[in-house]
Structure 1
Amino acid sequence: MDLIDENLELKEIQMLQGHTDRVWSVAWNPTTGFDGIPAMLASCSGDKTVRIWQQNPSCRSSDPWECKAVLDETHTRTVRSCAWSPSGKKLATASFDATAAIWERVGDDFECVSTLEGHENEVKSISWNSSGTLIATCSRDKSVWIWEELPGNEFECVSILQGHTQDVKMVQWHPFLDILYSCSYDNTIKVWAEDDDGDDWHCVQTLGEANNGHFSTVWALSFDTTGEKMVTCSDDLTIKIWGSDSKLMQASGDVFAPWKHLCTLSGLHDRTIFSVHWSREDIIATAAADNAIRLFIEDKDVVDGPSYKLLLKKEKAHDMDVNSVQWSSKESRLLASASDDSTIKVWELASVP
């Protein structure tokens, strides 16, 4: 059955409470939530901490999620971003204290094994590449840094990317290629790739107003499972879909397939759209300062180019701004959200009987 034909609701499974300040970001551990391994979620906050939440499948109460660990005493200011390594064994965090931290999971405990220093001020986002060998960070200092993991939990900065003219809000690696994407207060998304000789990184494309891009701050981006479509969201209240032939890039390392604007969705949020995430089931989730969550799917009835339509809207998903939404990498209809109201919510996209 087509999703649009289903009677669906975004059902709140549980509100996770414990943070004492706004929650900026959530991240699902990619190696949990299947084969009997309980799902695990990380959240980070203005209270300078990271919380690790784990699902207890055998719990028969109405609250199956519990806080398993609180990571503190490392960052001295807001923790803005968190990201799991592909192996699920390490968690990277980015903070307004101008540092990033790497935490290693040992059983139920987490130990800070490395601190990445160098940015001049607030680090806004952190991301692992698909092999877990590279980390990217970005900052209010307008720069993007690429770090390589060395033996013994050491990390070396291998490139500092200068190109944005304002605060860089987010970095995100391509799902399976070592190509990096950054979005900024300067209204652009930049695409970064390694030089042919592997000595340095450079910007291979800038997506901005000149090529049907955003005309205000770009807050976030996400890829579909093929890596051939990308979605971006902005302070201009629009969501944009982009397309590229990533198979071409994968087949030939010296060929870059530029991204092209496919369509724009507008008039669906009333205030800044802070977060966007694409599920394995091809559902796009967005979160905004209007306290709402929206879900979108491709309109298969449109023949002249890709088009997307609203699948579901959840007004008052939180009591304040919704800063982050992320689909589970395993349970395709499980969604987490984080808000200025200091809570995380776990949702299920469920069929209504």
Structure 2
Amino acid sequence: MNDTVALLQKFNAHPDSRCWYVAWNPKGTLLASCGGDRAIRIWGREGDSWECKTLLQDGHQRTVRKVAWSPCGNYLASASFDATTCIWKKKNDDFECLTVLEGHENEVKCVAWAPSGNLLATCSRDKSVWIWEVDEENEYECVSVVNSHTQDVKHVVWHPTQELLASCSYDNNVCVYKEEDDDWECRATLEGHTSTVWGLTFDPSGQRLASCSADCTVKIWKECQPEEGTDAAWKCVCTLSGFHGRTVYDIAWCPLTGALATACGDDGVRVFKEDETADPDQPAFSLSAHVPKAHTQDVNCIAWHPKEAGLLVSCSDNGEIAVWNYQSGV
């Protein structure tokens, strides 16, 4: 491993509670974090450090599990264990709660915007995935409820350019959805993990999907050309095993460099690099950098900066956020 991950800054983002998730806005000028303290914090860069610009703490009654920026950067969605999703509108340096999306029976585990900004997906412990449509008046309507998982749905992620959605679950599976005749349907179920699948990320092209699991592995799935009259199939083309000591909670594919980063329950942050000489149908990834004690407790999330290659953040059960600089030796 000639590559390095250097710590730039570490700060206590959610005192006395878990920091569950961090998300960059599309320009990379702001960072949103959420936690067990029911709060959302918006961080901005001041010189070489990051400082809290805004505190949002009146939207949810329980833990805020995930936050997601709209593609235009003017809206922030937050998913909570109180069974609701809040939509916040950015107004200068402040945010106001526009609307609260209700309907899930219990904990909402994730929220994600489609690349168009016109669709929103939520998923829940109630085993369902909901698709919401947004109109020009900022009215949100649930247009589809899909029940393709048999257990708690942990994460949803959209394809980077298409209206194609993937979800993962406590049932060990990944589902891929597409709209058909004004309704959303599960078009593929990806089976292979032997325990809960916690996180998903598409590669920059959207042709591959990476999943991470409590079985301590990462799997790379590739979309295959469908036979005539059939749906596109996804097959597992690579499994990364033997690298993680505990559950892999999150995974992120860098849109700028193609590096793959993981957040793990063994307190480590890892970066994997693809062998560009390998057969695309049989990709090979090597561990290029590893920070064994990135945090003192479980690492819950990892996120690459959208504009600065090598800049990434992680957050932990101890309430901390860490900012890192990954440099490739090649």
Q: TM-score range by the shorter chain?
A: over 0.9
Secondary structure, aligned partner of 1:175: coil
**Deviation string, structure 1 residues 99-157 (Cα, Å, up to 9, x no partner):** 00011111100111110000000000000000100000000000000000123322000
Aligned to 1:206: 189
The superposition leaves residues 201-226 of structure 1 with CA deviations (integer Å, 9 ceiling, x where unpaired) of 11110001xxxx10110000101111
User: Which whole-Å CA distance do the structure 2 matches of 1:51 and 1:282 have between them?
Assistant: 28
Q: 1:29 corresponds to which residue?
A: 25
Give the stretch that moved more between structures: 41-50 or 304-313.
304-313
Q: Output aligned runs, 1:1-353, within 5 Å.
A: 7-20=2-15, 21-32=17-28, 39-56=29-46, 59=47, 64-195=49-180, 197=181, 199-208=182-191, 213-244=192-223, 256-279=231-254, 280-303=256-279, 305-350=282-327
Provide Cα deviations, 1:295-350, integer angstroms capped at 9, x if missing partner. 10112354582111111111100010000001011112110101001011111113
RMSD of equivalent CA atoms: 1.8
Cα distance, 1:337–1:289 mapped onto 2, change above 3 Å: same
Checking the alignment, whether the CA contact within 8 Å between 1:83 and 1:127 is kept in structure 2 is: yes
Aligned residues: 326
Write the distance in 2 (CA, Å) between the matches of 1:325 and 1:29: 14
Q: Output the TM-score relative to the length of structure 1.
A: 0.89
* Whole-angstrom CA distance in 1 between matches of 2:308 and 2:262: 18
Secondary structure at the aligned position of 1:163 is classed as coil
Instruction: Tell me the distance in 2 between the aligned counterparts of 1:129 and 1:245.
Output: 22
Per the alignment, in what secondary structure is the counterpart of residue 233 of structure 2? coil
| Deviation at residue 259 of structure 1 after TM alignment | 1.1
Give structure 2 stretches of 5+ with no counterpart: none
> TM-score of the superposition, structure 2-length normalised?
0.95
- Cα distance change, pair 18–294 in 1 and its aligned pair in 2 (3 A): closer
Structure-1 separation of matches of 2:231 and 2:205 = 16
Q: Is the 8 A contact 2:224 2:235 kept in 1?
A: no
Q: Which runs of 4+ in 1 moved over 3 A?
A: 300-304
Unaligned runs of 5+ residues in structure 1 are: 33-38
